Structure 1
Amino acid sequence: MSATSIGGQVTTCPPPYIVFTDLDGTLLDHHTYAWQPALPAIRRLQALNIPIIINTSKTAAEVLPIRHSLGLSSPFIVENGSALYIPKGFCDGSIENLAAINIRGDYYCLLFGANRDNIVQCIYNERAARDLKFSGYRDWDTETLMSHTGLDRISAEQSLARLYSEPIIWQDSEAAHRHFSDFITRKGLRILSGGRFEHIQGDTDKAKPMRFFREHIYRDEKIEFICLGDTENDIAMLEHADIALCIKSPVGPYPELSHKHVYYSQKCGPEGWQEAIDYILA
């Protein structure tokens, strides 16, 4: 590896990595949402000019303040791969010509998922028609969501500002769930299970926006993707990685992967995130 100057100091150039990370239960503690134990690893990656791209089930309204607190300026992916937000200064602007790109303030936004209003109408009409037992974001006020998640009021309000997905809690039988899953598939939608909720969304996942990076932003470069996640809804992202880092969950097993290059952390949440990045950069 060659030497380069970063911030006026000479350091060693790392391999061309990009880090994609889940938030809840991975970079953020499952119970407290703390990220501070991972700060040394975050700063180490930043010193090496390795982008950290959040890839989460959270909304854009939730991600923006988290991103600010972490000191990140890179793109981010929201609502389980439903939309990719790219800061205008991140690339050369050539993506403006893509038909699917929208401009939202200081970001290019590429939509991969479905409109939440259509999802909500679809699934709650089916709930009424079949007398299914589940509840979701449409049913809940801020206080109810706070009780389900442990989020503070501002964070809960940001979480309710969903555009592309509807998280639910299933309260019916397994047989009813199988019929509901078949219905969702027939409607061109998808169910992904996370740490707390099942997410009903368009036919996308966390890997689809990652492919956009390979095909459009880094098409002429050899970039290795490092991905960190902890639950089933991270599987597509982890399988698409060059190096998959599975973070131990305090509430469930590691996701089942067929990937050949996987590291399983022994610690949970941000402590596990720090452990995994230390392992890769050792």
Structure 2
Amino acid sequence: MTRLLVFSDLDGTLLDHHTYSFQPALQAFQALKTFTIPCILNTSKTYAELTQLRNELNHQDPFIVENGAAVYIPKHLGLPVDASMEDHGDYWLKSFGPKRQILIDLISEYKTHYRFQSFCDMQAQNIVDLTGLSEANAQLAMQREFTEPMVWQDSNIALNTLKQALEPQGVQLQKGGRFIHLMGSDCDKARAMLWLSARYETHFQEAVTTMALGDGDNDVGMLSKADIPVVIRSPVHAPPEVPYRHDAWLTDGYGPEGWAQAIDKALIKQGIL
């Protein structure tokens, strides 16, 4: 039996799509702690947002922010460090793309050609209206470091044209649950998951089994590269397809209820429960 690493999306997965509650998943989340199984949050959320959520969950493991743009590793875990990582107070920081301001400067050149609104153009109330977040949480969501979310108001054809224009500049547009995310081409939930998994294998000096849970299109890459891919059923959209992974699990429950079911199933299959 290899060591298990759990990588989890948040919105619509560990957190309820409508209420952002994690209560239905809390018992399963605590079970991972009991068995010292790392649960790495892999999300579109920002460092500022996760600071508050991790306090509520008493989360002590690494976390991946802004759709794979950066990994934060708590120093107390003692995972291996290299020259590509930055000192960030209590964490080691590994970033995979440019800083946000570079992206804002780049996309501003296209505002006369395409219809979209990016976070830098919005007030907190706009984010509240779009997401249902409280104003305080909307302020946290706006504190981005490596990506720039956008509300796309143009056609799909225009979106593909812009994608092609940005690719030579090392920038991509990735579809999330509510927004289109502008980010570096190397920013990806799957890449961050694999990079961190390799760190754990070096630390443990043995192979790990990766389990990934997600509900949206921006989770497909992560799910496709995981040893145990879990698609969390959503109340608002059809389950995303994971190409070439006929072994992907699809939960019966929605959001955090489905998350808990999948964790329990994995612990039984791994012989832990």
Q: TM-score range by the shorter chain?
A: over 0.9
Which of 140, 147, 153 is equivalent to 2:122?
A: 140
2:159 equivalent to 1:177: yes
Q: CA deviation at 1:262?
A: 1.2
> What's the CA shift string for 1:150-178, capped at 9, x where partnerless?
11111111100001001111111222112
Report the Cα distance in structure 1 between the residues aligned to 2:101 and 2:86, rounded to whole angstroms.
19
Whether contact under 8 Å (1:81, 1:113) holds in the other structure is: no
What code does the residue aligned with 1:37 have? P
Per-residue Cα deviation, 1:95-149 (whole angstroms, up to 9, x for no partner): 1xx2211111100001112211111111121122x1x111120111111111100
1:215 aligned counterpart, secondary structure: helix
Larger Rg: 1
1:211 and 2:194 correspond: yes
8 Å Cα contact 1:127-1:133 kept in structure 2: yes
User: Identity of counterpart residues, as a percentage?
Assistant: 39
Instruction: Tell me the secondary structure at the aligned position of residue 236 of structure 2.
Output: coil
Map of 1:81-160 to 2, 5 A cutoff?
81-92=68-79, 94-95=80-81, 98-128=82-112, 130=113, 132-160=114-142
TM-score computed with the length of structure 2 as normaliser: 0.93
SS in 2 for 1:251: coil
SS in 1 for 2:229: strand
1:15 Cα offset (Å): 4.8
Spell out the pairing of 1:1-282 with structure 2 (5 A cutoff): 15-92=2-79, 94-95=80-81, 98-128=82-112, 130=113, 132-203=114-185, 204-219=187-202, 220-257=205-242, 258-282=244-268
Structure-2 separation of matches of 1:174 and 1:233: 17
Distance 2:11 2:161 in 1: 29
SS class of match (1:155):
helix
CA drift of 1:54 comes to: 0.3
> Which deviates the most, 55-64 or 272-281?
272-281
Q: Which runs of 5+ in 2 are unaligned?
A: 269-273
> Which consecutive residues of structure 1, in runs of 5 or more, have no partner in the other structure?
1-13
Indicate how the Cα distance of structure 1 residues 108 and 65 shifts in structure 2: closer, same or farther if over 3 A, else same. Answer: same
* Structure-1 separation of matches of 2:189 and 2:166: 18
Cα distance in 2, alignment partners of residues 247 and 69 from structure 1: 22
Q: Give the SS at the match of 1:218.
A: helix
Decide which moves more: 25-34 or 211-220.
Answer: 211-220
CA contact (8 A) 1:91 1:217 kept: no
1:72 deviation in Å? 1.1
Taking the aligned partners of 1:124 and 1:102, their CA distance within structure 2 comes to 29
Q: Residue 265 of structure 1 aligns to a residue in which SS?
A: strand
State the distance in 1 between where 2:65 and 2:179 align.
15
Contact 1:60-1:78 within 8 A present in 2 as well: yes
Alpha-carbon offset, residue 87 of structure 1? 0.5
For residues 196 and 69 of structure 2, the distance between their equivalents in structure 1, rounded to whole angstroms, comes to 15
- Measured in 2, the distance between the counterparts of 1:266 and 1:191 equals 31
Q: 1:218 to 1:15 in 2, by over 3 A?
A: closer
Q: Secondary structure at the match of 1:228?
A: strand
CA distance in 1 between counterparts of 2:258 and 2:199 reads: 32
TM-score, length-scaled by structure 1: 0.90
In 2, Cα distance between the equivalents of 1:281 and 1:119? 41
For residue 11 of structure 1, what is the aligned residue in structure 2?
none
- Give the distance between the partners of 1:23 and 1:215, measured in 2 at CA: 22
The CA deviation at 1:181 is 1.3
| Alpha-carbon distance between aligned partners in 2 of 1:34 and 1:239, rounded to the nearest angstrom | 27
Secondary structure, counterpart of 1:42 in structure 2: helix
Count of residues paired in the alignment: 264
What's the secondary structure of 2:111's corresponding residue? helix
